[in-house]
Amino acid sequence: MPRIAGVDIPENKKVRYSLRYIYGIGPKIADEILEVSKIDPDTKARDLTDDEVGLIAAYLDEHLVVEGTLRRQVQQNIQRLRDIRSYRGERHRKGLPTRGQRTRCNARTRKGRKKTVAGKKGVKG
């Protein structure tokens, strides 16, 4: 398995798709990397030479923040928002959507599984 930026990328896939397994690289950046290093995007990852792997790794080190460093940066940004007690920081703290989505319905990804509240329906005055 080729190892780029500390990540084992799948070798049975084309390089343009394998690079996306690296945290911080999406479709556009993967194609850009291959264009700059003059590698055919349809090449399978297992067919990459050591020189080509070196070119990709050098480009990543020089131009992009990926993997552990990027994850750390994102966590520090979220922690900063929490520390300054901003609205977005409070939403992160409570585990709610932070970008203006509605929460009356369809916020289950952020809120987690439904929590049933006991005795809510059957109370009569």
Q: What is the CATH number of the domain that holds 58?
A: 1.10.8.50
Answer yes or no: do 43 and 81 share one domain: no
String of DSSP letters for 62-91:
HH---HHHHHHHHHHHHHHHHHTT-HHHHH
Terminal-to-terminal C-alpha distance of the chain? 68
Task: Establish if 123 belongs to a structural domain.
Answer: no
Give the residue numbers spanning the domain of 98. 68-111
Max CA-CA distance within the chain?
78
> Has residue 21 been placed in a domain?
yes
Q: 3 falls in which pLDDT band (50, 70, 90)? A: confident
Average pLDDT over the chain, rounded to an integer:
90
Q: 56 with 75, same domain?
A: no
What pLDDT is stored for residue 124 in this prediction? 65
Judgement on whether residues 59 and 78 belong to the same structural domain of the protein: no
Predicted local distance difference test score (pLDDT) of residue 98: 94
Number of domains forming the structure of the chain: 2
Q: What are phi and psi of 42, to 5 degrees?
A: -85, 0
Measured distance CA(59)–CA(57) in Å, rounded: 5
Cα dihedral angle (58, 60, 63, 68), rounded to 10 degrees?
Answer: -130
Give the pLDDT confidence score for residue 118 in this predicted structure.
80
CA distance linking residue 22 with residue 28, whole number of Å:
13
For residue range 54-111, what is the model confidence (pLDDT) as tens digits?
999 999 999 999 988 999 999 999 999 999 999 999 999 999 999 999 998 889 999 9
Name the nearest CA neighbour of 58 among 5, 8, 16. 5
